Amino acid sequence: MGDDPQGSVQEAPEMRRSSRDHAELRRRLTAWLADRLPAGSSPEVTGLEPTSANGMSSETLRVEVTWTEVGAPRSHRLVVRLAPSPEDVPVFPRYDLPAQFTTIRLVGELTRVPVPPVWWCEPDPGPLGAPFFVMGCVEGRVPPDVMPYNFGDSWLAQASPEDQRRLQDATVAAIAELHAVDRPSHRFPHLVTGTGDTPLARRLSVVDEWYRFASAGGFRSELIERGLAWLHDHVPAAPSGPVLCWGDARIGNVIYAGFEPAAVLDWEMATLGPRELDVAWLIYGHRVFEDLAASMGLPGMPHFLRAEDVASTYEALTGHAPRDLAWYGTFAAVQFGIVFLRTGARAVRFGEAPPPDDPDALLHNREPLERMLAGTYWG
In order, the DSSP letters of 28-55 are HHHHHHHHHSPTT---EEEEEEE--SS-
User: In this model, does residue 58 exceed pLDDT 80?
Assistant: no
Same domain? 349 vs 205: yes
Residues 6+ apart with CB under 8 A from 208: 228
User: In this model, does residue 1 exceed pLDDT 80?
Assistant: no
C-alpha span between 91 and 76 (Å, rounded): 30
Same domain? 189 vs 57: no
Residue 11 falls within a domain, yes or no?
no
CATH code: domain of residue 76? 3.30.200.20
Same domain? 123 vs 193: no
Among candidate residues 248, 266, 278, 324, the one labeled active-site is: 248
C-alpha span between 48 and 23 (Å, rounded): 8
Q: What is the mean pLDDT of the chain?
A: 93
pLDDT band at 135 (very low <50, low <70, confident <90, very high): very high
Instruction: Find the mean pLDDT for residues 17-37.
Output: 89
* pLDDT on residue 342: 95
Same domain? 165 vs 290: yes
Residue 280 falls within a domain, yes or no?
yes
What pLDDT, in 10s, does the model give residues 77-127?
A: 999 999 988 888 899 999 999 999 999 999 999 999 999 999 999 999 999
Same domain? 266 vs 297: yes
Same domain? 132 vs 154: no
Of 136, 163, 178, the position where a domain reaches its end is: 136
Residue 334 falls within a domain, yes or no?
yes
Helix-strand-coil split of the chain, %, nearest 5: 45, 15, 45
Contact between 330 and 193 under an 8 Å Cβ cutoff? The reply is no
How many CB atoms sit inside 10 A of residue 229's CB? 11
* pLDDT on residue 10: 36
Of 136, 162, 189, the position where a domain reaches its end is: 136
* pLDDT on residue 53: 52
Residues 6+ apart with CB under 8 A from 226: 373
Residue 219 or 217, more confident: 219
* pLDDT on residue 217: 84
C-alpha span between 58 and 29 (Å, rounded): 17
* pLDDT on residue 63: 96
Give the 3-state secondary structure of residue 336. Answer: helix
CATH code: domain of residue 302? 3.90.1200.10
Same domain? 125 vs 208: no
User: In this model, does residue 3 exceed pLDDT 60?
Assistant: no
Same domain? 111 vs 160: no
Active site residue 266: no
Select the highest-mean-pLDDT range: 64-73, 79-88, 157-166, 234-243: 157-166
Burial environment of residue 357 by CB neighbours within 10 A (0 to 12, 13 to 18, 19 or more): exposed
Contact between 199 and 242 under an 8 Å Cβ cutoff? The reply is yes
Same domain? 224 vs 264: yes
Closest CA to 287 of 268, 309, 307, 272: 307
Contact between 265 and 203 under an 8 Å Cβ cutoff? The reply is no
pLDDT band at 59 (very low <50, low <70, confident <90, very high): confident
Domain that holds residue 282: 149-374
Residue 79 falls within a domain, yes or no?
yes
Same domain? 102 vs 173: no
* pLDDT on residue 7: 39
* pLDDT on residue 76: 96
* pLDDT on residue 52: 61
What pLDDT, in 10s, does the model give residues 291-306?
A: 999 999 999 999 999 9
Closest CA to 279 of 231, 223, 338, 327: 327
Residue 1 falls within a domain, yes or no?
no
Residues 6+ apart with CB under 8 A from 24: none
Q: How many domains does the chain have?
A: 2
- The partner residues of 78 in beta bridges, in order of sequence, read 63, 136
User: In this model, does residue 67 exceed pLDDT 80?
Assistant: yes
Residue 349 or 289, more confident: 289
What pLDDT, in 10s, does the model give residues 272-287?
A: 999 999 999 999 999 9
Same domain? 130 vs 189: no
* pLDDT on residue 56: 56
